[in-house]
Amino acid sequence: MAETGRDIAKAAELLRSGEVVAIPTETVYGLAANALNPEACVRIFEIKERPFFDPLIVHIRGIEEVLRYAIEFPPEAKELCQRYWPGPLTVVLKKREIIPDIVTAGHDSVALRVPAHEVTLNLLQMLDFPLAAPSANPFGYVSPTRASHVEKQLGSKIPYILDGGPCRVGIESTIIRFGGERPELLRLGGMDTRILKETLGEFTESLHQGSNPGAPGQLDQHYAPLTRFILLKTGEQPFPIKGVKTALIRFRDYSTDFPEQDQYILSDTGDLHIAANQLFAVLRETDEKGYGQIIAETVPEVGIGRAINDRLRRAAAKGISPE
C-alpha cells in the first residue's frame, strides 16, 4: 500500500532513487518519475498499463528551463508561457537529445509544462531533473483529482502519494504544439480557448487525432467510467430504463422528472470552472455507487465548457452516445 503524506523531501528521495511517486498539480494528480531516467519512465507505463505510443508530459520548474529540453522556443510559444505559466498549459516543442525516446514515444518533440501547485513546484526545486508525469490513473480511466482517488486505483503499485489536497482546476492541461506553420491545439483543457486566441491570434485545432496510434494521445475513448455511460445534448430528456438504477449528471439544476437522490449537479450556480473542478469526482462517485447506467448532459459549449464536453464525449465513446 502506498503511504499518503505531505513529505516533499521523502518524495524527492524516492524520485532520486528511480521510484514512481504520485504528485499533485492544479489540474489532476500525476504519476511522476525522473524524466531523464528511461528505466524509471518505463515503470510509469507499466503501472498505468499505458501503451508506449502515448507520450508523457515533462514537468519543469520554470520557463527558464525550456531550452534545456527543447531545441527552440518560438516567440509566440514563449509569450504564451510567460503569460500562463505556472498553469494548465502544456507546449509541445522540438526536443533535445537529453529527453529519452520513451518519454516522447519516439517523436522528435517534447511536451513541457510548469504546474501551478506549490507542493510540486517545491519538489521540483529540490530535484536536479524534471518529472515525466501522466495523469495518475489506469490508462483510459477517469483522471484523479484527490490523493484518495490515486490511492484507490494505484495504491498497491507505488510507494508514496504526495498529498496536495483537491486539484483546483480539475481537468487536464491544454496542449499546444509549436514548430509547424501555425500553433496547433492538440487537447482542450484547463485554459480557456478564448485566451489562446487573444495571445496567439491564429491557430489550428488538431483534436481527436489519436484513434490512430501513430499520432500521440487523444484517443477517442478515454476518461471512461466502467458503468454504461450515455451522453445527452443540452435540454434533451433523460430516458430512464425500467429496472435499471440510473444516475443523472446535470450542469446546474435538478430535473423534475427524475429522483433527486440520483441526480448529481456539477455547479448549482452555473459556473463552468466549478463544473470542471467537480467533473471527475462526480464521474468516479457515480461509477462506484453501483448504478446500472449513468446519463449525463453536456454543458454550454463555451470557454472551459468545451473541455468538459470533450471529456464527457470520450467517456461516452465506450457506451451509446447520440452524437
Binding site for Mg ion (CB under 5 A): 135
Smallest distance from the beta carbon of 32 to ligand TXA, in angstroms? 8
Cell numbers 533535445 correspond to 96
Q: Which of 311, 205, 190 is nearest to 249 (CA)?
A: 311
Q: Which does 225 bind (CB under 5 to 8 A by kind): ligand TXA, Mg ion, none?
A: none
Smallest distance from the beta carbon of 55 to Mg ion, in angstroms? 11
Q: Which does 111 bind (CB under 5 to 8 A by kind): Mg ion, ligand TXA, none?
A: ligand TXA
**Cβ neighbours around 301 below 10 Å, total:** 11
- Report which residue type is found at 224: A
Conformation bin of residue 3: beta by default, left when phi > 0, alpha when psi is -120 to 50:
beta
Question: Distance (Å, rounded) from C-alpha 103 to C-alpha 106?
Answer: 8
Which span (66-74, 133-141, 197-205, 245-253) binds ligand TXA, by CB under 6 A?
Answer: 133-141
If binding is defined by CB under 6 A, does position 130 make contact with ligand TXA? no
Question: Distance (Å, rounded) from C-alpha 316 to C-alpha 226?
Answer: 10
Q: Which does 109 bind (CB under 5 to 8 A by kind): ligand TXA, Mg ion, none?
A: ligand TXA
Residue of 55, 130, 225, 305 interacting with ligand TXA (CB under 6 A): 55
Which single residue brings its beta carbon nearest to ligand TXA?
217
Contacts of ligand TXA in 199-258 (CB under 6 A): 216-218
Q: Which does 57 bind (CB under 5 to 8 A by kind): Mg ion, ligand TXA, none?
A: ligand TXA
Contacts of ligand TXA in 143-182 (CB under 6 A): 172-173, 175, 177
DSSP string, 43-73: HHHHHHT--TTSPPEEE-S-GGGHHHHBS--
307 CB-near residues (< 8 Å, 6+ apart): 171, 174, 188, 189, 190, 276
Question: What is the contact surface with ligand TXA in residues (CB under 6 A)?
Answer: 25, 27-28, 30, 54-57, 88, 90, 92, 104, 107, 109-111, 113, 115, 133-135, 172-173, 175, 177, 186-187, 216-218
